[in-house]
Structure 1
Amino acid sequence: MKKFLGIALGILTAIGGFVDIGDLVTNAQVGARFGLSLGWVVIVGVIGICVFAEMSGRVAAISGRATFDLIRERLGPRMAMMNLIGSLGVTLLTFIAEVGGVALALELVSSVNEVLIVPFIGALVWAVLWRAKFSLLENVLGLLGLCLIVFAVALWQLGPDWGSLGHQLLTADKPGDEKWVTAAFYAVALFGAAMTPYEVFFFSSGGVEDGWSEKDLGTMRANVLIGFPLGGLLSLSIAGAAWVALGPLEVSVGTLGQVGLPVAIALGKIGLAIAVIGFVAATFGAACETGLSAAYSISQYFGWQWGKFVKNKEAAHFHLVLVVVTLLAVGVLVTRVDPIMVTEVSVVFSAVALPLTYFPILVVANDRDYMGEHTNGRLANAMGLTYLVLVIVAAVAAIPLMIITKMGTI
């Protein structure tokens, strides 16, 4: 029964934690303009994150060490530093966006300007990361994030033409007034949002924190192979609801309030209240994950003691990094930088950093010195290499598409 509950809870937290500010905004933006014609990108991205999250989780369970902890040892300090710089830059951008996302969500219900809320959010995030148990991050915030299922309910309540939505999804039939180059830009953005680098590093480090071993491989795989796809369905629901409610009105999504409009139209104030709870939980949970991921990566690279199960005095450098990145996020946001703009930039640069993130994971997962008989099989390697090609294509295309389309505005 305990093992079953562990699987079930892991699945629920994976669903609740999958959709962060990047997924919320990007899926709503794409849905309002393209419907589900780019939904195939979400599906491809979900499969990809499953492939590499499974590798990262397996590495943590078998070696007892986090993936990033092994990258420097296996590939050397130079390659590890490139990985650190690429992934850390995107993680910090994402962290800033998530903290801003919490403030935007609270602004919806308080009418207090998000700039005034940001310092309190930063202090709360730091306090949770400093004192709260790891189980709180995994369970409470993830489960509250399940309130975002209200988007699936809203889509059903809106009574869409399911045949038309299915046709869009299966044929990638974009609206006739949209340009293919703009569709390509948003495809890269969706791909980057689905495969954000911090997810695999947090997943691996979290597995070490939870004390995973070989006997936990089944639980880990259930969490990955069921939780992430269900989170992907939630992303498709956000896009579908945006298309049905906002597409005919030609309303573009530029604020978090507009992301919630389809729920308000379909379910009224109660539905919107549930959605806002989901916004706060998902963005706050993602802020905690990205903050921890930054501290994990830096600490593991330099060989510092790290982790929430380690006494604060013994992991002083780890907690110092948490303080620094939190102050950085607050400092950037109080300059009145738009968190939505930061989100849009972060998902594009996430695509740029993907090769630096996933190539080392593929290498470590094939090393018998660390993995023994649990190295990648043929299927895992075939899928890993296929996705490595895809992430390289996305990385190469991201910046030119961003410039050509002016961040998707044409």
Structure 2
Amino acid sequence: MAVVISSTLKLSNCPATISVAYLRLNNYSSSSNPTTLNLSTLKKGTGGRSSFNGVVATVFGATGFIGKYIVNRLGKSGSQIIIPYRGDNYEPFRMKLAGDLGQVYFHEYNLRDEDSIRKCIKYSNVVINLVGRDWETKRFSFNDVNVEGARRLARLSKEAGVERFIHFSSMNASDNPNRSGILPNGSKFLESKGLGEQAVLEEFPEATIFRPSDVYGQEDRFVRYYAHAWRRQATFVPLWYKGERTQKQPVHVSDVATGVMNAIKDPDTAGQIYQAVGPKRYLLSELVDYFFRVMRKDGDWGYKRYDMRWDPIFQLKVTLTERLTWNWPLGHLHWEKIEREHLSDDVKDDIPTLEDLGVHLTTVEEQMPWEFKPWTYAIYKGQDPDEPLAPPEPPKVVVT
């Protein structure tokens, strides 16, 4: 940070005085305490991408689906962003365009290396934890990432004097989650997410926690999961009890990002838990039927939904997919996903939602035709490009 200092000089044998202004650079050193700097006093500009709004945010998990949207919103509002990454350093660099020149920084880190984490959060007043693991690998278990990793980030953020810590959990997260009847011991993912919430609040009691339901948008694992050919058997789609016992409230990713931005601005959200759910509740069977109507893959195409319980071939397919593709299951098809897919969203009446953060929620009917456009069957066959497609029948809403 540069400080302008002015002084007056008087030369010998000269009646005039000369005013001189020069710059003194105040550089942050490793020994300085960043918590003594009030970043809100450094706000500059009228707002927007080329301003500085006083937020320096470190976004762990920024290269994931939700992280990219949050980074984009932070950059558009004039935040400085630190993006920790692991692996290929070229993967996160495309997000440099999210902010103005010099406002997006990258730093390599390891979730088990505390020194690398400290360097990532050293000058931040906001830390967002989007790191998660949907399936276990030989390097990282659910406990390693969703519990101990979350605890470590919260503890180090507290030590660094971070003002706001935002942690992403999951809908139905609990140390003793409900069971759909598919996995005998229930979802280990949801159990680890529940324990992760407890760990974060123990280390950072003022943390804000989001529990998202199924999030859809570009590059998601909800729309593309059902559109993937590996999820179905030819033109047949297997669901547990035909999907007629499961209720879902999917939410659009832009609404989640808006909720995070509003939570950062509002200090009253500290220590609160928010349920990130959509405005309407549907049966899973209604949703999947609607998805295939949007893709123009209805009964004439050969679509049929049936009970997964009586299809041992599909069950074998899931098992083999899980065992033979350890790092990235084909089509995101694995038993943990199947288990969570058929659990109803347990939305609590006493826990606030995105609407309490002032978010105007997007409905499934508004967004899905756009999301499924790449998978629309015979989109130009016998269709005048100038004539819009007739909207499909919307899914029936569950009356609560």
Which category describes the TM-score, using the shorter chain as reference length? under 0.3
- The alignment's TM-score, normalised by the length of structure 1, stands at 0.25
Task: Please identify the structure whose Cα radius of gyration is greater.
Answer: 2
Considering fraction of residues, name the structure with more strand.
2
- The alignment's TM-score, normalised by the length of structure 2, stands at 0.25
